[in-house]
Amino acid sequence: MPVLADGLWAHTAKVETPFETDVQLPNITCKRCTLQVIQFMAEHGINNPGNFTYHHCAELQITADPAKPIDKQWPAER
């Protein structure tokens, strides 16, 4: 499935403020979708079994906006 965002917040120094961004969700109807954030953190402790990769997930319920075209990269209804 398509990637909604990639390559955000590349940095090598410690950051004191949280990161935040907006992403455009696909215009589909999905009763149980998962939004996953994956982080690669080289200057961080090892995450077993992910090494330096961490992920966070949120379950979403999306209702398509009938005034807009359905996003064809995704199944019409999930």
User: Residue 18 contacts by C-beta under 8 Å, 6 or more apart in sequence?
Assistant: none
How far apart are the C-alpha atoms of 40 and 38, rounded to whole Å? Answer: 7
Query: What is the model's pLDDT at position 35?
Result: 87
Query: What is the model's pLDDT at position 77?
Result: 59
Query: What is the model's pLDDT at position 1?
Result: 62
Within the chain, strands assigned E span 30-40, 53-62
Residue 78: CA count within 13 A, CB half-sphere? 20
* Consecutive 10-residue averages of pLDDT for the chain (78 residues): 80 85 90 86 72 84 94 73
Measured in degrees and rounded to the nearest 5, phi and psi for residue 15 equal: -115, 135
Distance of CA 61 to the CA centre of its chain: 14
Query: What is the model's pLDDT at position 76?
Result: 59
Query: What is the model's pLDDT at position 39?
Result: 80
Q: How far, CA to CA in Å, does 48 sit from each of 44, 51, 54?
A: 12, 6, 10
